[in-house]
Chain A
Amino acid sequence: MTTHAPRSKPVAGRKIRVTIKRAEGPGKPFRWETFEVAPEPGGNIISLLQKIAADPVTVEGRRSTPVVWDSGCLEEVCGACTMVINGRVRQSCSCLVDDIAPNPGDEISLEPMTKFPVVRDLWVDRARLFDTLKRLKAWVPIDGTYALGPGPTETAGQQAVRYVLSTCMSCGCCLEACPQFNLETDETRWDKSFIGAQGFSQARLFNDHATGAQLKSDRLGVLSAQGGIADCGNAQNCVKVCPKDIPLTESIGAIGRAVTLHAIAKWFSGRS
């Protein structure tokens, strides 16, 4: 959510403690390391990690290695740098140190997301997120890239709805916060595992497009099968952690209704 807590005045020149949950690789044991860092004014978690990388010495004086983490745009539009900061999943680029550790000695804890396998340290493998987009045929089935004139027209209102859904950067915050979505390292089980809010919302995005709707029935078939919308426990954690304020619970509702109508239509048509 984009709500801003009023900022208490950060103390200039302070040192803070950054405690990081690290692992050498997938399946390797976790360990915690703490570094003392002097944050730069206006700096974010990324700038702390960059400082640590340049001189990775723990508070015990032990020389460690630069922390491994995923990052890209650093302006909260690529989704790469997602991690669990002080127990809350969010992008580390848009997490400002002045906001969460304004005083000398304040502590920040950094952990990798738990619903995806760790690659190393704070870097996790979110391939399953993209696999979900394949499972749901999250695309518009165009007739190729030849010049065939404009696409379907839509109203400004329809555009506004689709645009917000389309700002989903596949960061995985909604899945990390979801009680129904669990770590699954066995790829062969992904197509039976819970889809989660990002997938529901992307399915809605493409079902709502005139050409994208050509695949609506396929999508609703997946969404009504195992791992689909029926498994959603309606905890509504997803919408609270979405950094882009995507109305995920509205999408869950819309998909729920569509799946019901789809089932009724199938029942009347006599096809299974």
Chain B
Amino acid sequence: MAQHRVIVVGGGLAGLAASVRIAEAGLPVDLFSMVPVKRSHSVCAQGGINACNDVARQQGYSEYQHFDETIYGGDFLADQPPVLEMTNWAPKIIDLLDRMGVPFNRSPEGRRDLRLFGGSLFKRTHFAGATTGQQLLYALDEQTRRYEVEGKVNKYEFWEFLWPVITGEGDARRCVGIVAQDLRTMQIRAFRADAVIMATGGCGLVFGKSTNSIICTGGAASRCYQAGAWYANPEMIQVHPTAIPGADKCRLMSESARGEGGRVWVPRKKGDTRAPRDIPDAERYYFLEERYPKYGNLVTRDIATREIFSICVDDAMGVGGENVVYLDLTHKDPDYLTRKLGGILEIYEKFVGEDPRKVPMKIFPAVHYSMGGLWTTYARGAFRPGAPAGEHKSGSLPPVGTALGVGMRYGAHENMRTNITGLYAFGEVNFAFHGANRLGANALLSCLFDGLFSGVSVVNYVREGEPAAKPAESLPAEVFDACVRQETAKADRLLATAAQGPGGPETNPYVIAREMGEEMTAASTVVKSGPRLEQAAAKIASLRERFSRVRLEDAAAWSNQSLSFTRALGDMLILAQIIIRAGAMRKESRGAHYRVDYPDRNDAEFMKTTCAAYDPGAADPHQITYRPIDADLVAPRARTYGKVDG
């Protein structure tokens, strides 16, 4: 009998959840990660994970309302059925994490504590201090290690994914493995698999400084795109409202700071030089609370970001005339803050040198999350209402229950599969669930949901689909060898440039990367415009030209990080092109995508998924089209979050 195998690329929450689920079903997993999986970027998630719970339920909340909030939060760009399935699953996922030993904060009675988060008026966010992502990742890391000991998961840590191995043409394409490189020995080799799951996260590094880890280049997703996988909604990049600007990165200051009562303000008087605590309440402008009395500081991220940006850039009311506003927790009890938010307060203290329990924090928005990503499909579930519902009012009966499979069909082979058979995308690297803006504390949920729910789809595909008749291990070696040759040639070409000696800033990969990040941040984040994006497109084209002449300063055949970085830079430049192109083509404003020249949402033309396909043979390789979305569960409505004028 054929020995089937599954490859998971990426060991963050999505990749580990998938690994555990698949190993549990009896299929061996080869898990690839550029870092020891315990150091994956999921550790940086702070605030929490959303799920309907008993308390919120008795206040009128429901899984369905969580669904409605997520669709509204995403500004009606997400396909709706998968979101319904995810929010229905959320309470089960919390229970599972609880069983794994995640130290969720507890109420006085010993139950799981809850906090408020953006985009909701109900406490539905579960948390472990202010390092929830770390705690969740560790729980999954431990379960994965257990399967590793049992021989069901085989880890390849410090290995970099280079290319998906794909057989066939057109609709008959099938992914049968990967080519990867050992980042220590630099060995490049192919690995066969009956299914490949990409769980490689977002692409924050395209913007230079972001809240992302150094490994979040988007390189892996870009390589899949170049190999024929579609990339959807690249223009949808979340800029988090509250981060600490830094020389090497911007450090996240979690939304939970506002969830626990943090207030955002600037002095009412421009250029007020008084220390923040010397400014009386009446002379402080709590602009989010005044403009959004209903949600206050807990408006969604895109809105908070634009308001902060506008206060600083348009109104020049930033603290000390700089691009900074206060995030103030000093009115709260210091012990309470330590218990609920210790982890993030410590980050602020260590990196800024001030105690946020005593002095308001100085923050500014920073690139944070990629709503867009590899395009994925799904099998629709059973719920098909005759007509889409309006806004769901809390306390009213949801139009559908929480039975398994109302949103997505459980176990269907195509759930979260890309346009290539056998190639799946889980977690932040896919484009599902979050539409044009992600709600805080929904990311950890979508990662885990993908791994647990669609992991079963992968198992079924391997056992019942193409691999059942034709396992990867039975395929001729040539298709694998060809990919290895292709990747070896790429690496050799880059390494050979080191012999030419340094070429100066023009061809220095680190300089090109910095210029790319600065341009992308300036042109394609909080505020975009057609002319500015056009300018950015020209800049990125010139950087790509310079990249074609790039020179490494390290020719080492052992642990050569310059090679890995430079190779990823080439892939990031390609992503940058589609981020800009898609942003220029989407002539409307929706969620995180705000065009000054098209400030309104335009559902008739653009309530559609942007879909980029790569054709290496074409003069213009980026083919961008629009695909309809499944939006018949909830009707689009104006997204105001109760804004008042003035």
Contact = CB atoms under 8 A, between A and B. Distances in A.
Interface of A: 2, 4, 7, 24-25, 40-44, 46-47, 50, 53-56, 63, 65-66, 68, 71-80, 93-94, 96, 99, 119-120, 123, 125-127, 130, 133-134, 137-142, 144-145, 147-151, 153-156, 158-160, 162-163, 166-167, 169-170, 206, 209, 211-212
Contact of B134 (A4, A77, A148, A209): A77
B508 interface: yes
A144 B100 CA distance: 10
B145 A134 contact: yes
Contact of A156 (B106, B248, B508, B559): B106
Contact of A150 (B99, B214, B246, B346): B99
B70 interface: no
Nearest to A170: B38
Contacts of B148: 134
A150 B101 contact: no
B159 to A, nearest CB: 13
B72 interface: no
Nearest to A209: B101
Interface in B239-254: 246-249, 251-252
Nearest to A97: B247
B104 interface: yes
B103 interface: yes
A66 B98 contact: no
A160 B24 contact: no
Interface of B: 20-21, 24, 35-36, 38-41, 43-44, 92, 95-96, 98-101, 103-108, 110-113, 128-129, 131, 134-135, 138-139, 142-143, 145-146, 148-149, 184, 213-215, 246-249, 251-252, 339, 343, 346-347, 349-353, 452, 502, 508, 510-511, 514, 553-554, 556, 558-559, 561-562
Nearest to B559: A120
Contacts of B111: 153
Contacts of B511: 54
Contact of A80 (B20, B35, B249): B35
B392 to A, nearest CB: 24
B38 A66 contact: no
Contact of A140 (B92, B100, B105, B559): B100
Contacts of B351: 42, 44, 75, 94, 96
Indicate the member of B95, B108, B350 with the most A CB atoms within 10 Å: B350
Given A138-B145, A163-B129, A206-B101, A2 B246 contact: no
Given A120-B184, A134-B145, A163-B135, 10 more contacts: A43-B246, A53-B510, A72-B43, A79-B38, A80-B36, A120-B559, A123-B559, A145-B24, A147-B96, A162-B103
A167 B131 contact: yes
A160 B339 contact: yes
A170 B141 CA distance: 12
Contacts of B346: 2
Contacts of A160: 339
A30 B349 CA distance: 36
5 contacts: A42-B352, A65-B554, A72-B43, A120-B556, A150-B95
A186 B551 CA distance: 38
Given A66-B562, A119-B559, A123-B559, A72 B214 contact: yes
A50 B249 CA distance: 12
Contact of B24 (A53, A144, A169): A144
Nearest to B502: A63
A159 B142 contact: no
A212 B100 CA distance: 9
A167 B420 CA distance: 39
Contact of A77 (B35, B43, B105): B43
A76 B347 contact: yes
Given A2-B346, A50-B248, A94-B350, A159 B104 contact: yes
A156 B100 contact: no
Nearest to A44: B248
A65 B350 contact: no
Given A66-B561, A77-B134, A80-B35, A47 B248 contact: yes
Given A162-B103, A211-B99, A72 B35 contact: yes
Nearest to A138: B142
B92 A147 contact: yes
Contacts of B349: 2, 4
Ordered nearest first, which 10 A-B pairs have the shortest CB separation? A151-B98, A139-B142, A43-B247, A54-B510, A120-B559, A151-B99, A140-B101, A40-B247, A163-B103, A65-B554
Contacts of A66: 510, 553-554, 561-562
Nearest to B510: A54
Contact of B249 (A53, A74, A120): A74
A99 B353 CA distance: 10
Contacts of B20: 145
A252 B511 CA distance: 48
A156 B106 CA distance: 5
A140 B142 contact: yes
Contacts of B112: 150
A75 B347 contact: yes
Contacts of A167: 129, 131, 134, 343
A145 B508 CA distance: 48
Nearest to B99: A151
A44 B246 CA distance: 9
Nearest to A148: B99
A206 B146 CA distance: 13
A44 B105 contact: no
A46 B101 contact: no
B615 to A, nearest CB: 34
A6 to B, nearest CB: 9
Contacts of B38: 78-79, 130, 169-170
Contacts of B556: 24, 65, 120
The residue among A72, A73, A93, A156 with the most chain B CB atoms within 10 A of its own CB is A73
Contact of B39 (A40, A80, A163): A80
A4 B348 CA distance: 12
Nearest to B98: A151
A166 B103 contact: yes
Given A140-B101, A163-B128, A42 B106 contact: no
Contact of B246 (A42, A77, A78, A209): A42
A144 B22 CA distance: 11
A154 to B, nearest CB: 6
A232 B128 CA distance: 31
B145 A153 contact: no
B508 A54 contact: yes
A46 B209 CA distance: 13
